[in-house]
Amino acid sequence: VTQTESPRTHLPGDGHMWVMVIGDMVVFAGYFIIFMIYRAMTPEAFLSSQQHLSIDLGAVNTVILLTSSWFIACSVLAARSGDHERAIRLTYGGGLCGTLFIAIKSYEWWAKITDGHTNSDMFFSFYYVITGVHLVHVVIGLIVLGVTVRELRNPARRRVSMVESGAVYWHMVDLLWIVIFALLYVMR
């Protein structure tokens, strides 16, 4: 709260959300480091399993989440300038992208499981856990966007810091996915 009062050192959102975001990235960093350690132990096995992931689906989901972050960033700008209707519409756009991401990820899981790529394979056990935990974060993100919409709808509320906090969380979800996409899909 104290930081937001000074325009020169403005911290978007509230400090509590930043504790969440930075801490969450530390927790994920732990998963990424452990993944890299196990990958370094059996690089051939990880590479051959990785061939079964669809890099196209991963790329489509990356574009979807980046688009959602663009919606949310524009929504913050709209909320700051007092255009709440536009901010609500843009937040819905971000949420729609998030829903689409979940749908594509669910299809990808279903396709992999029916192809027999279960968590009996070390690479895929990491894949299911890391993308699964990320998926939980997307679902929480949709709830956060719902809270943002509720905030924007109520003329008595409409606190910009709340909208910013929601956006900070959503951008974290996006950022984590980019790292996951690089680690699991792209890195050869």
Partner 1 sequence: VSVLTRSGPKADGPTSDGKPDVWFVYWIFPGFYAAFGVIICLLTRVTPPPRPDITTADKIAFFTEHRTTMQIGFGLLLILLGGAAVSNGIVVYHMKRMTVGSVFAYGYLGGMAVGALPGFLLVAACFLTATLRVDRNPEVVGMLYDLGMLSYNGSLGCFSAAYLALAIAILYDKNGIFPKWFAYVSIWQIVTEVIATQMFVFYSGPFAWNGSIAFWWSVVVFSIWLCALIALLKKATAREPADSPALD
Secondary element (H or E) of residue 23: helix 15-41
Pick out residues in 105-124 that bind partner 1 (CB under 8 A): 119, 122
Q: Which range binds partner 1 by CB under 8 A, 15-23, 54-62, 84-92, 173-181?
A: 15-23
Decide whether 123 or 181 has the Cβ nearer to partner 1.
Answer: 123
DSSP conformation class of 168: H
Count of CB atoms situated within 10 Å of the CB of 60: 15
Decide whether 18 or 92 has the Cβ nearer to partner 1.
Answer: 18
Separation of CA 81 from chain center: 26
Q: Least distance (Å) from partner 1 to the CB of residue 80?
A: 22
Instruction: Report the half-sphere exposure of 96 (CA within 13 A, side-chain side).
Output: 9
Assess 96 for contact with partner 1 (CB under 8 A): no
Decide whether 16 or 80 has the Cβ nearer to partner 1.
Answer: 16
Assess 11 for contact with partner 1 (CB under 8 A): no
Q: Contact at 8 Å (CB) between 84 and 152?
A: yes
Q: Contact at 8 Å (CB) between 82 and 181?
A: no
Site residues for partner 1 per CB under 8 A:
14-17, 19-20, 23-24, 27, 30-31, 34, 37-38, 119, 122, 125-126, 129, 133, 136, 140
